[in-house]
């Protein structure tokens, strides 16, 4: 099939930030008396910061408060430009896909504040995307397909003609639930974990390699 659109998750795909957001969440939760560990966050990757931070705080018996997320974003905003990594040739990838005629969308469970900070950190313009959907725009987070179905609708491309690029099992499951194919990028999770937990249609080790599929 000839795909017409590429729908990108952000963290772990357009920017390698999973270690940083875990670090910031640990710092934020510590301010509220929760002493979390990096591995505590793994089940919640890709499901938005409310669940990402809230799931861990509640694991430690502390009720989630939105102030925890605000504190996490404060730390993240201070550190993202220096500590997050820009994937190899990421801007070239976006430009090449546009030149090939694909419609592009960001579909991230993160809030707009964090998503826009990520774009600035990698030097990408928001207007290169035909749709920019964040956790602020949806009710049900991944693995629910709502965000990808909304992205498909906003750019006017049928789900079966959309290719999703994801780094997390939750996101791949969301793509499949929405009737879309998914490329798994083995950055935040190993290829084996992605295959076992979500069964992506394709696997790559670097996001630039999606050009060999598209």
Nearest-angstrom CA–CA distance, 204 and 121: 23
User: Kind and range of the H or E element at 104?
Assistant: strand 103-107
Phi-psi group of 61: left, alpha or beta (phi > 0 → left; psi -120 to 50 → alpha; rest → beta): left
Kindly name the residue from 11, 40, 111, 144 that is annotated as catalytic: 11
User: Is 11 among the catalytic positions?
Assistant: yes
- The Cα–Cα gap between 173 and 149 comes to 13
Q: Could you confirm whether 111 is annotated as catalytic? A: no
Q: Which helix (H) or strand (E) holds 105?
A: strand 103-107
Distance CA 158, CA 2 (A): 12
Place of tokens 């730390």: 75
Query: Which residues are marked as active site?
Result: 9, 11
């Amino acid at each position: 099939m000839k795909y017409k659109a590429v729908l990108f998750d952000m963290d772990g795909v357009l920017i390698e930030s999973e270690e940083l957001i875990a670090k910031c969440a640990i710092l934020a939760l510590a301010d509220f008396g929760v002493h979390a560990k990096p591995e505590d966050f793994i089940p919640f990757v890709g499901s938005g910061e409310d669940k990402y931070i809230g799931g861990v705080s509640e694991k430690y018996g502390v009720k989630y408060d939105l102030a925890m997320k605000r504190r996490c974003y404060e730390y993240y905003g201070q550190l993202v430009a220096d500590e997050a990594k820009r994937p190899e040739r990421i801007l070239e990838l976006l430009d090449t896909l546009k030149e090939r005629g694909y419609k592009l969308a960001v579909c991230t469970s993160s809030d707009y504040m964090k998503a826009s900070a990520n774009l600035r950190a990698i030097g990408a313009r928001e207007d290169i995307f035909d749709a920019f959907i964040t956790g602020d725009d949806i009710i049900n987070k991944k693995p629910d397909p709502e965000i990808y179905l909304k992205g498909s609708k906003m750019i006017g491309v049928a789900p079966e003609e959309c290719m999703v690029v994801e780094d997390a099992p939750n996101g791949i499951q969301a793509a499949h639930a929405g009737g879309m194919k998914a490329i798994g990028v083995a950055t935040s999770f190993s290829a084996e974990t992605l295959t076992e937990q979500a069964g992506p249609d394709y696997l790559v080790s670097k996001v630039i390699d999606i050009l060999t599929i598209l």
